[in-house]
Amino acid sequence: MEPIFRRSPLALAILGLLENGPLHPYGIQRLIKQWGKDQVVNVGQRTSLYRMIVRLEEAGLIAVGDTERDERYPERTTYQLTDRGRAASRAWLAEIVSTPRNEFPEFPAALSFIMLLTPEAAAGLFEERREQLTRRIDSLDADLASEYEGAPVPRVVLVETEYQKAITVAELHWIDGLLDDLRSGALSWEAALRPSQTTIDQAMA
């Protein structure tokens, strides 16, 4: 029975990078960082990358290639994309690009329990987040204006950065509106969310 492989951003990145030819794990990790893909792909520690490579090989999506030998480095095993891996990456791309998915990020989960803080404390934390969002937009703008060998980086290489900026700008505008409401008192919850005895009894039933 063939192993069932669950896709992930890291798996997609590995398959995508191997489109250009065989690579060893260090080369894959270096390209992920060099091409800025670490902004959208959580590589984590090198062991995470190696574990993912092993899983992809076991699933038949990549295969062991040659062994690189260089007196300056230990022997390095290269990996190459298989036909199955190429087909899988195309299928993943088609589904991910065409179909919105609830990915359960942490921030909305925290917002769902913001009433555990006072409105004043929440406002202070939102102000901190606003400052960090502003700095992130500046960083993304710098990435979008980057050059390679004296020429602008092709837009297609930066579309994920464009998306990140659009999402970050939208969040910044939303935070601004939320802060305005908190400061004016239009948004408050301390009195409204005091649980009644009936609510408590229902939860314990």
pLDDT digits (tens, 9 = 90+) for 80-114: 999 999 999 999 999 999 999 988 899 999 999 99
* pLDDT exceeds cutoff 70 at 1: no
Distance of alpha carbon 95 from alpha carbon 167, whole angstroms: 21
Beta-ladder partners of 68? 76
133 and 179 Cβ atoms separated by less than 8 Å: no
24 and 65 Cβ atoms separated by less than 8 Å: no
Beta-ladder partners of 80? 63
Tracing tokens 């400061």 back to the chain, one arrives at 183
pTM of the entire structure? 0.81
Distance of alpha carbon 79 from alpha carbon 23, whole angstroms: 6
Distance of alpha carbon 153 from alpha carbon 144, whole angstroms: 8
